Amino acid sequence: MRDNFKKTDVNELARQSGYQCSNPSCRRSTVGSDGGEGSASIGVAAHICAAAAGGPRFNVDMTPEERSSIKNGIWLCQTCSRLVDADVPSHPVDILHEWKKLSEIQAYLALRNLEVVQSRNYIKLEHKMPELIAEMREDLNKNPFTREFIIGSKNWSYNGSGKTVFSYHFEDHEHLQGKMTMCENYGAIVEITFNNVERYEFTEDFAEYLEVSS
């Protein structure tokens, strides 16, 4: 016995999520041209709690009506619908409800020509240069009102103006210049070089990332 969704509810789920997969790290479009004269769909109205006993996230306490209700459905692409059922521990009920909610909000905004811009993924940047970013985080936690830093050699003397400026050294960090370029590309820092000293500032987004993720 499977408590399947009504056809009208399947369509409604698709429309509520703007025909996009509700997985926030996927968000692919689930309808489009088939390349010929027709159209194709890769969308699935997936059950949050399984439609039948023994299925993923099955909840014995739900009635058949609740299981087949649109409230228990989430719009996903075929790949993600398989993913959430194959890896249940990573995709519990509350996560799927959150995906659904976010997807509906995004579709709501998109319909009004607004969009949610996801901030840069500094976690990825941190994976590329963990030691440097750990040092930046330590500095910033000690001096939360400082944004400026210089890069150079430990042997160079630098006459500061008295204000706090962080410094990172070539001796401690391989490819430091290249890392600066990557940080700039991620929007983590901006260059403010003057007086021949390579000087940068943390962006507020990146400073917040360093503060909250410590």
Contact footprint for Zn ion (CB under 5 A): 21, 23, 26, 77, 80
Cβ proximity to Zn ion, 45 vs 207, nearer residue: 45
Cβ proximity to Zn ion, 50 vs 77, nearer residue: 77
How crowded is residue 49: how many other Cβ atoms within 10 Å of its Cβ? 18
Cβ proximity to Zn ion, 62 vs 102, nearer residue: 102
Spatial contact of 30 and 70, defined as CB atoms under 8 Å apart:
no
Residue 130 C-beta: closest distance to Zn ion, Å:
30
Q: Round to whole Å and give the CA distance between 209 and 47.
A: 35
Long-range contacts of 192-196 (CB under 8 A, 24+ apart): 192/148
Cβ proximity to Zn ion, 77 vs 150, nearer residue: 77
Please, which residues have CB within 8 angstroms of residue 148's CB and are 6 or more apart in sequence? 163, 165, 166, 192, 199, 200, 201
Cβ proximity to Zn ion, 28 vs 169, nearer residue: 28
Residue 43 C-beta: closest distance to Zn ion, Å:
9
DSSP, residue by residue, 82-128: HHHHH-TTTS-HHHHHHHHHHHHHHHHHHHTT--PPPPP-HHHHHHH
Q: Round to whole Å and give the CA distance between 128 and 131.
A: 9
Cβ proximity to Zn ion, 68 vs 81, nearer residue: 81
Residue 48 C-beta: closest distance to Zn ion, Å:
15
**Residue 76 phi, psi dihedral angles, 5° rounding:** -135, 160
Residue 30 C-beta: closest distance to Zn ion, Å:
8
Residue 34 C-beta: closest distance to Zn ion, Å:
19
Q: Round to whole Å and give the CA distance between 105 and 196.
A: 48
Residue 24 C-beta: closest distance to Zn ion, Å:
10
